[in-house]
Amino acid sequence: MGNYIVSALKYRPTNFNSVVGQESITTTLKNAIKNEHLAHAYLFCGPRGVGKTTCARIFAKTINCNNLNSDYEACNECESCNSFNEDRSYNIHELDAASNNSVEDIRNLIDQVRIPPQIGKYSVYIIDEVHMLSAQAFNAFLKTLEEPPAHAIFILATTEKHKIIPTILSRCQIFDFHRIEINDIVKHLEYVANSENINYEVDALTIIAQKSDGSLRDALSMFDQIVSFAGNNITYKSVIENLNVLDYDYYFKLTTAFLAEDISNVLLIFNDILNQGFDAHNFLSGLSKHFRDLMVCKDQKTVQLLEVGAGIRDNYKKQSALCSIDFLFSALNIANSFDLNYKASINKRLHVELALVQLCNLINLKKKESEVAEKTEQTQKIDEFTDKEQTENKHISKSISSSIKVEKKRELKLKHHISSSPSIKDAFNGNLINNPVNYKENDSAPISQASENFGNNKFTQEELISSWNKFTEKIKIDKPHLYSTLNTSIPVLKDENVVELQILNPIQENEIKTEKTGLVNFLKQDLKTNNISLQYVITEKKNEKAKLYTDADKYEHLNKINPNLDKLKQQFNLDFK
């Protein structure tokens, strides 16, 4: 049985083009080699397993290669490249600062730096976990790091950049390595699986990539673990069982139960999750991520942010269509709030169950909020209607006040007219007919001259209407209120020369009475008769809505339209002021 080599070492990149997920850094290093702009100190920092030490080794190998290709990659054929590939190169020195962190270790390194390389141009010193050096070791290293020999290049690697003193940082070119994206890790795992003739499901490799948290080395280690567990057939089920990952189906079932407000089913699903040994806090974090993934599926522009396999992506799209954006936003807030307060709770299980119950009640809560909003809108409409009624009442009051003022003016003018009218003595002397009273258009009423001795001539309804219209047109400009009243009043010819006037209210009756003398005299003269009797009949308009003056009247009117108004009044203990 041959020696087994783990995938992380077997498939470790050997040139810049094979480095996964760090294109910007590898391009910069290749350009530095191309342009011969090599610095004397580099700092590679970033999380674990993202290629810091690998890039340092590739960089050291490439700058010592004697036959670089057109893409400025190492040839892997020269003596320098062969010695590097066989781990016998004396141009590359690796130092673990975690176990060599004293001043004496740095002194030994400084003594070694003075020796020039035997093969190649540069001696490269890779110091891994450099943040572990003591303060005295850092200070001893400063001068050499700033002014090393021309053949010496230092590459410092660390996962904790903040622990390195500023004087060291200022002497280095700093390269920040980022976490490798899930898609890049999945592609590399597919390459490894194909190279090893291993069957796989893309969803299974996606779970491994998610679990690795951006570290390719961790992903390859888990890949080897799954191969040992499942053999040459990696399935989604085998991955979640071996890595103790909660299946997506649980989150889909829970969300369906939330939408159905099925509290019992939700609690049973959560109990099943706990019985399988999953941590409740991790479950809460996964639930928050599930709601987030459903939210990004609501828009085609953000679907690309969903880091899952193609099969699971379709399930997310289907369930996202069933969830409103308000529900997802509120659910995300609830899950995140309980996640933050999880450690402070005493009863962990009850804490999570309370979150699940609130999520079940979320749909009902939204309905109640909608009802309250609708009632608030109805209340606003009531207030608007009340304000409108009050405005109309003010206009009515102003109109009545104006009518009263007009009536007073007419009374004064009528008194003046009576005082200038013929006396009783003139009547007995027969001067009344010979000296008729003239009513000018600017008087209180445009009364024509007194009727002549026409006798009891009869007239028709058409002649009455024609004469009536003449009178209203005559007063249209000077007496607009009277014109409006007479225009809405309907004169009807009853018995011989008896005119019945249909009016709407007592106010119109009083207004017409004030001008009755002028009106009758005009009709007598125009219709050429001395016998006209004017009677009044008050008739209300049909279907005319009663005016609402008091708050109680307005409330009763609105309550007939919407009976729920009475419930609203009782619920909020409203009253009239």
Domain-ending residue, one of 242, 276, 292: 242
Q: Examine the domain organization and report whether 89 and 206 are in the same domain.
A: no
As given in the structure block, the two tokens for residue 532 are 């006209």
> Is 407 within the bounds of a domain?
no
Q: Examine the domain organization and report whether 102 and 196 are in the same domain.
A: no
Predicted confidence at residue 269, as pLDDT, reads 92
Do the beta carbons of residue 518 and residue 478 sit within 8 Å?
A: no
pLDDT single digits (tens) 180-193: 998 899 999 999 99
pLDDT single digits (tens) 429-474: 444 433 333 333 333 334 444 445 666 777 787 887 888 888 888 8
Q: Examine the domain organization and report whether 59 and 134 are in the same domain.
A: yes
Which of these, 238, 224, 345, lies nearest to 284 by C-alpha position?
345
> Is 254 within the bounds of a domain?
yes
> Is 383 within the bounds of a domain?
no
Q: What is the CATH number of the domain that holds 343?
A: 1.20.272.10
* pLDDT confidence tier of residue 157, bands split at 50, 70 and 90: very high
Distance CA 123, CA 110 (A): 12
Do the beta carbons of residue 63 and residue 124 sit within 8 Å?
A: yes
> Is 498 within the bounds of a domain?
yes
Q: Examine the domain organization and report whether 108 and 219 are in the same domain.
A: no
Residue 314: domain span: 248-360
Predicted confidence at residue 252, as pLDDT, reads 92
Q: Examine the domain organization and report whether 147 and 64 are in the same domain.
A: yes
Quickly tell me which residue has 């002028």 as its tokens: 518
Q: Examine the domain organization and report whether 82 and 203 are in the same domain.
A: no
Do the beta carbons of residue 126 and residue 14 sit within 8 Å?
A: no
> Is 576 within the bounds of a domain?
no
Predicted confidence at residue 81, as pLDDT, reads 87
Domain-ending residue, one of 119, 147, 176: 176
Number of residues in the chain: 577
Predicted confidence at residue 448, as pLDDT, reads 41
Q: Examine the domain organization and report whether 60 and 139 are in the same domain.
A: yes
pLDDT single digits (tens) 15-39: 898 899 899 999 999 999 999 899 9
Q: What is the CATH number of the domain that holds 137?
A: 3.40.50.300
> Is 556 within the bounds of a domain?
no
Q: Examine the domain organization and report whether 256 and 312 are in the same domain.
A: yes
Exposed, middle or buried: residue 291 (CB in 10 Å: 0-12, 13-18, 19+)?
buried
Q: Examine the domain organization and report whether 500 and 441 are in the same domain.
A: yes
Q: Examine the domain organization and report whether 59 and 207 are in the same domain.
A: no
- The H or E element spanning position 214 is none
Q: How many structural domains comprise the chain?
A: 4
Dihedral sign from CA coordinates of 320, 322, 325, 331: negative
> Is 391 within the bounds of a domain?
no
Q: Examine the domain organization and report whether 189 and 285 are in the same domain.
A: no
Q: Examine the domain organization and report whether 533 and 450 are in the same domain.
A: yes
User: pLDDT at residue 261 above 70?
Assistant: yes
Distance CA 79, CA 66 (A): 8
Q: How far is CA 157 from CA 44, 233, 396, 536, in A?
A: 5, 37, 89, 111
Distance CA 74, CA 62 (A): 5
